[in-house]
Amino acid sequence: MTTDLIPSPPATDSRTPRSAGSLLLPIAGGALIVGQLLYAAGMATSPPQDSMASADYVEALARDEGRTALSALLLHYGTLATGVGWLAAPALVRGRRGRLTTVAGALMAVLGMVSVAGMVLSDFWTGALGRELPADTAVSLFDTVQAAPGMAVVGTVTVLGLLGPLVVCAGLARAGVTGWWLLAPALIGLGLSFALTFSPLPYAALALLGAVPAVVVGLRMLQRARAGAA
């Protein structure tokens, strides 16, 4: 009877506490998936232009201020979210094989995509040029800014946003996290985007094709986080 009066020790959870960093993995996985969908939506809503000439580009952005703003915001946050998501890709690698390649690719991806996200915001400025200034003056000012040495540096860095995900996929494939086939949709989408003249809907479709690696890696992150929580 006396034993009934002695309080039982509190129950303890034998599971190892999860680190705060482990909570970032599902966030990064979701960012990769959502970011790619936002980017494709930004492509689909981009103002159509007659050619890649500066005059046609400025005129297209000036034509519909609301559409330009919507597209720019979708592209900005889509690229930003995707870049941040790629930064967590090395967390999927266990062991030495593919580790350095995945880390290098993740750093390339985030640096390039953050640069792209910043450049996209210039669409607001370019559209305002076309609306507020005579066409010749607007185009001349646009070309002057584009020819600045600093813009050349930023433009070069943005290439890392194209190469980085390919390097990450190669690293993850070498580590056995994903298959080598994951490089195919990225390369096909990238090659077609260079071969075809820009048009919003076809480029949105190419963006979805190129999004396959990011979506697959994002799902792997969510699965790894769920397994860790269990």
Report field, pTM of the whole predicted structure over 0.85: yes
Helix (H, G, I), strand (E, B) or coil at 228: helix
| CA–CA separation, 83 and 76 (whole Å) | 11
Phi then psi dihedrals of residue 49, to 5 deg: -135, 150
Each domain of the chain, given as residue ranges in start order, spans: 23-229
Task: Return the structure tokens found at 5.
Answer: 């009066």
pLDDT over 80 (residue 209) = yes
pLDDT over 50 (residue 1) = no
Band of residue 226 on the pLDDT scale cut at 50, 70, 90:
confident
pLDDT at 23: 80
pLDDT over 90 (residue 186) = yes
pLDDT at 21: 63
| CA–CA separation, 119 and 79 (whole Å) | 11
- pLDDT tens track for 152-171: 999 999 999 999 999 999 99
Q: Count other Cβ atoms within 10 Å, centred on residue 221.
A: 25
pLDDT at 8: 54
pLDDT over 80 (residue 12) = no
pLDDT over 80 (residue 132) = yes
- pLDDT tens track for 31-60: 999 999 999 999 999 999 988 899 999 999
